[in-house]
Amino acid sequence: MKQHLGRQSGVQSVEVSLIDGKVEITPKEDEQIDPTQLLKATYDSGVTAAEMDMTARGKVVKDESGNLALQIAPNRSFALVPNELSKGLESLADPATLITIRGQLYKKPPGKKQKVDTAIPLKLMILEVEKKE
């Protein structure tokens, strides 16, 4: 699995802890990685992703429906799951403010081994707002 993930575009390093089943992925500086592809690569390597957390820096934007999203590239953004922390970000929805967020992108539904549906866009549930710039 480590080699499989390490071959994905933009991945700098992969650290695997067999004891607690944790996998830490560090992206290359100034390159973008695709969390959906990482989930798919994990499944393809024969293990099941139970959870995926992400720390990302980006700007808060509103989509066509007025929902908040974290934009991390001109063509890539993650819709924010509404919660108390996301409500606090509404006032920061402007192009000048960068924020760093830690949040949950994926949690496996209860049940048996299940393939990640890559057709469904991942949504980011904010766990912590680390920095506002």
- Return residues touching another protein (CB under 8 A): 1, 16, 18, 20-27, 30-33, 35, 38, 42, 46-59, 71-74, 95-98, 100, 108, 113
Q: Which is nearer to another protein, 86 or 99 (CB)?
A: 99
Burial of 23-36, coded b for 16+ CB within 10 Å and e otherwise, reads: bebeeeeeeebbbb
- In angstroms, the CA 112 to CA 133 distance is 42
- In angstroms, the CA 4 to CA 57 distance is 25
Q: Which is nearer to another protein, 50 or 120 (CB)?
A: 50
Q: Which is nearer to another protein, 8 or 67 (CB)?
A: 8
Q: Which is nearer to another protein, 25 or 68 (CB)?
A: 25
Burial of 100-119, coded b for 16+ CB within 10 Å and e otherwise, reads: ebebbbbeeeeeeeeebeee
CB of 128 to another protein, least distance (A): 12
CB of 19 to another protein, least distance (A): 10
CB of 131 to another protein, least distance (A): 10
